[in-house]
Amino acid sequence: MMNAEQLFEIGKLYCDRGDYLLAMPSLKQAAELSLTEKNHAHYLKCIQSILRIHAEREEFEEITKIKESLHDLVIREGTELTSKTYYVLGLCSSMKGQPENAVEYLKKALTMALEKDNKEDMCYAILGLAICFKQLKKYDEALKEIYNLNIFLQVLDIPELKASSSNTNALILLDLKKYEQALDILWIAYEELKNTKQLTLAIGVLGNIGIVLFEMGQKDASKVYLNLAYKSLDPANNKRAINQISKYLVQLDNESRGTADLVFDFENHSVLEKNVGKIDFKNQFILLDLLKLFIGNQGHIFSKEYLVEHVWKQNYDPEVHDNKIYVTIKRLRKLIEPDYDKPKYIFRAKNGYYLNKSTKIQMIENRAEGAL
């Protein structure tokens, strides 16, 4: 049977990767063992990771329960919470949208760290204050805390903290519309993370690069980085980050729809034609498969033989299939063409059918706010 320290290390490995559902059982078991053994310092260490998971998953009721249990522990056992615990409680309040409460926790964390001359804990408390001052739009104070933090980090080799400091600094500059500086600093943060196992933080930095590029008007580049971050995150594990990135991707999708002729949402079996509107392809699998083939090979002419073999999965027989193809193409045109008598999308060539190469097509990612 593994001891509390071993269980904690397993949970931490999962946390660093962003696999919070896998991390939670090990961390909870480690916390229970530590409490049974009255190893309160290790118990608090486990609780800090558990709190961060609940914050990332926006499970604020669970955080409230843990805060109450910590209060009971202090009264029952006379245990003193650590500076790092107050830091994490501060971050949780910040993520809940309560920066004023968070500042109180973080000032307590800093005071305790100063009393014990624990420089690492000082750094975390200062980072938390910078995050909260940014949230409160007190940018001068936020930048002052970043400056203080960077002085410590000149002598402390903590890559995760350096990257977090750079990431927070960039977000402050983003609010101040200093986009070029913000982008430069985010790339520094990304480079710093190459020496760590902090996959979730690295993904967050990539997402922030996408946000800065969006604000700079570089929409195509922005979409690349935002989609990369979005696809690297598990919605169940990273609800907070997913919600933030989704807001920008939805805006990009909406802008693209304004210029696209056809917007395809195959997961929901629907198409948006800019004049016709939304077209539902549910339970029309042959039409949808035919459309997928055309848009995946825009401008390519498909013979009747090829269509029968790859869409109907049958051997081509002119007597059976020629009329079937004609009727199916007709049905598809009636669905997506604004003017059936003057088709602009699906054309017939001498030896087959094809999708007009000049058609502006957009494929969309399915998101909570972004699906058709």
Of 18-27, 236-245, 313-322, 328-337, the one with minimum mean pLDDT is 236-245
| pLDDT for residue 6 is more than 70 | yes
Q: Distance (Å, rounded) from C-alpha 227 to C-alpha 231?
A: 6
Positive or negative, the CA dihedral 110, 115, 121, 122 is positive
The rounded distance, in Å, linking the Cα atoms of 265 and 362 is 9
Long-range own/partner contacts, residues 318-327 (CB < 8 A, 24 or more apart): 325/353
Tell me what pLDDT residue 256 has.
66
Residues 222-241: what's their mean pLDDT? 87
Question: For position 111, what pLDDT does the model report?
Answer: 97
For residue 349, count other CB atoms closer than 10 A to its CB.
10
Whole-structure pTM value: 0.70
Residue-wise pLDDT for 118-138, tens only, equals 999 999 999 999 999 999 999
Question: Which residue in this structure is represented by tokens 């200062």?
Answer: 126
> What pLDDT is recorded for position 23?
93
Model confidence at 177: pLDDT above 50: yes
Contact 159, 194 (CB under 8 A): no
Burial class of residue 317, CB neighbours in 10 A (0-12, 13-18, 19+)? exposed
279's enclosing H/E stretch is strand 277-280
Task: Return the pLDDT at 360.
Answer: 86
Q: Where are the alpha helices (DSSP H) in the chain?
A: 4-17, 20-36, 40-56, 60-77, 83-95, 99-115, 119-135, 139-153, 159-175, 179-193, 199-215, 219-232, 239-259, 285-296, 304-307, 318-336
How many Å apart are CA 92 and CA 99, to the nearest integer? 9
> Which domains can be identified in the chain, with CATH numbers?
167-258 (1.25.40.10), 262-363 (1.10.10.10)
- pLDDT confidence of residue 271: 87
Nearest residue to 163 (alpha-carbon basis) of 197, 184, 186, 131: 186
pLDDT band for 371, please (50, 70, 90 cuts). very low
What band does 273 get if pLDDT is binned at 50, 70 and 90? confident
Question: Confidence class of residue 95 from pLDDT cuts 50, 70 and 90?
Answer: very high
In this model, does residue 96 exceed pLDDT 50?
yes
pLDDT value of residue 334: 93
pLDDT value of position 173 = 97
Q: What is the pLDDT of residue 369?
A: 41
Confidence of residue 19 (pLDDT cuts 50, 70, 90): confident
Note the pLDDT of residue 370. Answer: 37
How far apart CA 103 and CA 275 sit, in angstroms, is: 52
What's the pLDDT tens digit per position in 186-224?
A: 999 988 887 777 888 899 999 999 999 999 999 889 999
pLDDT of 366 above 60: no
- % pLDDT > 70, the chain: 97
- Residue of higher predicted confidence among 35 and 367: 35
Q: What is the pLDDT of residue 16?
A: 83
Whether residue 142 is predicted with pLDDT greater than 90 in this model: the reply is yes
| 48-59 pLDDT, tens digit each | 999 999 998 889
Mean pLDDT over 63-74 rounds to 93
pLDDT of residue 257: 62
The average confidence (pLDDT) of the chain is: 90
- pLDDT of 372 above 50: no
User: Angle 219-232/199-215 helices, nearest 10 degrees?
Assistant: 160
pLDDT tens across 318-357, in order?
999 999 999 999 999 999 999 988 999 999 998 899 999 9
Name the more confident of 281 and 167: 167
- DSSP 8-class letter at 297: T
Q: Which two tokens stand for residue 10?
A: 């397993």
Q: Which strands, in side-by-side order, build the sheet including 361-363?
A: 277-280, 270-273, 262-265, 361-363
What pLDDT score was predicted for residue 365? 58
